[in-house]
Amino acid sequence: MQNHMTVVQFVPNLDSGGVERGTLEIAKALVDAGHRSHVASNGGRLVETLVSQGSSHHHWPLHRKSPATLLRVRALRRWLEALQPDIVHVRSRMPAWIVWLAWRSMNPATRPRFVTTLHGLHSVSWYSKIMGRGERAIAVSQTAKQYLLDHCDVPPELIRVIYRGTDPEDFPRDYQPSDLWLANWRADFPQLQGKRLIALPGRLSRLKAHHHLINLIGELKSRGITDVAGIIVGGMDAQHEGYVSQLKASIDEAGLNEEIVFTGHRTDMREIYAISAVVLAVSNKAESFGRTALEPLCIGTPTVGFDLGGVGEILAALFPAGRVPNQDCQALVDTVAGLLTAPVPPIAPNTEFLLSNMCQQTLQTYAELIDQGETQP
């Protein structure tokens, strides 16, 4: 592997989310390996963490889909020429376009290598094709690889599938929360005592299909499985207020106000996974990966999800018993009911979706490109 690589990662913001988390994880891996790590973004609450781990942050507001953002191309090219990185790595469409426009006008003999990562299954359009323009295009799953092949005209030999991953120390098998945490949980949610919890984690948006949880709890109760409660774990932003109001109205109409609880944004997901009987991953569209399916499975909590996208890949590898045909509500109820009333099938140990693998394979991709010499047009 190259000595002292200089890598610049570009993301829109550094607030929260899977893209941002992956950026910080690779930044830390670079620093830990003795390389120079830079991240360019519009800023956010994770900048402090990034810098504390040894990376440099540079304020580049490349996040807005606006013609004005195009005016930054020339300045960005000059900045890259002065910094002389070995790798530029873009993870989102708007910054990717600006960086690519700056990069392609640089001297091919001296410019950095250009890497993209497809984190999401974007709408199919010319705008999204930029995520396949990398001299290496990283796909976070086989599902993401297929998107690149189908919609971005990427030669297969330029794609590297590098799964996102967890650190076993963050989500250890058979983890048990502390007595203090349990006492605080009971105080916060006394209505959940004595209930087996079915958790649906993730942001409060239509994509996460919370109506499946409402239907599931109602169906389980009708089958005589009455010691269950649903918890909706995630924060709400302003653009989804209408959706959350509809959810609450549906819960009220179903008579499940005591059985389904909104926890709000939480930073203790490890503990919540550990006390849950089942975790759901039931998005109504394919997702490129699916951390909220992987993390509970690492702990050993059964996870049930639709056999779709990255979630389907994770379940196939670790817990095939949790795979349900896409949007098959009856199969979802049957599967969860079975897990609550019979011995749970074994959950395989996670050996593939590891943070260490992700970091090692990404840094290897960087080194492979640098060793090739002059960049491609």
Are 281 and 322 members of one domain?
yes
Are 29 and 107 members of one domain?
yes
- In tens, the pLDDT along 7-28 reads 999 999 998 778 898 999 999 9
Are 266 and 293 members of one domain?
yes
Are 309 and 366 members of one domain?
no
Are 293 and 321 members of one domain?
yes
The answer to whether position 241 is within a domain reads: yes
If you count DSSP H runs as helices and E runs as strands, how many of each does the chain have, helices first? 14, 13
Rounded-to-integer distance, Cα 132 and Cα 124, Å: 12
Position 137 pLDDT exceeds 80 = yes
Position 1 pLDDT exceeds 60 = no
Rounded-to-integer distance, Cα 24 and Cα 110, Å: 27
- In tens, the pLDDT along 53-102 reads 999 999 999 988 888 888 899 999 999 999 999 999 999 999 999 999 99
Position 325 pLDDT exceeds 80 = yes
Are 160 and 183 members of one domain?
no
pTM of the model: 0.90
pLDDT at 159: 97
Position 152 pLDDT exceeds 90 = yes
Reported as a pLDDT band with limits 50, 70 and 90, residue 308 is: very high
**DSSP 3-state of 362:** helix
Quote the domain boundaries for residue 295.
Answer: 179-341
The answer to whether position 267 is within a domain reads: yes
- In tens, the pLDDT along 189-245 reads 999 999 999 999 988 888 888 999 999 999 999 999 999 999 999 887 777 889 999
The closest of 341, 336, 349, 325 to 302, measured between CA atoms, is: 336
Are 195 and 309 members of one domain?
yes
Are 140 and 21 members of one domain?
yes
The answer to whether position 172 is within a domain reads: no
Average confidence score pLDDT of the chain: 94
Are 26 and 115 members of one domain?
yes
Rounded-to-integer distance, Cα 312 and Cα 203, Å: 19
Q: What CATH number did the domain enclosing 332 receive?
A: 3.40.50.2000
DSSP H or E run through 117: strand 113-118
Are 90 and 205 members of one domain?
no
The answer to whether position 171 is within a domain reads: no
What's the total number of domains in the chain? Answer: 2
